[in-house]
């Protein structure tokens, strides 16, 4: 099936193109996981998109400093140059993204990682009450 909703440089993007991109992303993820295992990194929850990889820090049972340390270690390990931090009443959301070198290709594989640090309790951080 061909989806004509997107257009590439030389014509419409097809499902064949999307599958090829996913296969490449899978191969890059295998390399990343192999190297991360050798480096002793904490595993992330990974999703493979169409040409992108998304890693998320699993936060269950971890403290805020532990979550931040895992996130920072992975962002440094993958050498992700674009990092953002957003704080709200729901906690702190950390995002890093960039490209991971991909063997045989001029451009790298797009990769992003995220982590969410939830507030310690249900107290409204916009008030002084505790």
Burial of 127 (0-12, 13-18, 19+ CB in 10 A): exposed
Residue 56, sorted as left (phi over 0), alpha (psi -120 to 50) or beta, turns out to be beta
Asked, for residue 101, whether it belongs to a domain, the answer is: yes
Domain count, the chain: 1
The predicted structure's pLDDT at residue 68: 97
- On whether residue 66 sits in a domain, the answer given is yes
Comparing 4-8, 24-28, 112-116, which segment has the lowest mean pLDDT?
4-8
The verdict on residue 10 lying in a domain is yes
Average pLDDT, the chain: 85
Residue 88 belongs to a domain = yes
Give CA torsion, residues 105, 109, 110, 111, to 10 deg: -160
User: Mind listing the pLDDT tens digit for each residue in 19-36?
Assistant: 888 888 888 999 999 999
Structural domain for 14, as ranges:
2-117
Give the residue among 78, 112, 79, 111 at the shortest CA–CA distance from 93: 112
Q: State what percent of residues in the chain have pLDDT above 70.
A: 82
pTM (2 d.p.)? 0.79
- Tell me, yes or no, whether 127 lies in a domain: no
């Amino acid at each position: 099936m061909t989806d004509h909703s997107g257009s590439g440089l030389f014509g419409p993007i097809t499902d064949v193109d999307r599958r090829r991109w996913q296969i490449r992303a899978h191969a890059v993820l295998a390399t990343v996981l192999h190297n991360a295992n050798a480096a002793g990194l904490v595993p992330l929850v990974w999703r493979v998109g169409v040409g992108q990889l998304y890693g998320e820090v699993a936060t269950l049972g971890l403290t805020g400093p532990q979550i931040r340390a895992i996130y920072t270690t992975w962002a440094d390990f993958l050498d992700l140059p674009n990092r953002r931090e957003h704080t709200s009443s729901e906690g702190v959301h950390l995002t890093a993204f960039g490209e991971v070198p991909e063997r045989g290709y001029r451009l790298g594989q797009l990769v992003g990682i995220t982590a969410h640090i939830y507030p310690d309790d249900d107290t409204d951080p916009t008030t002084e009450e505790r």
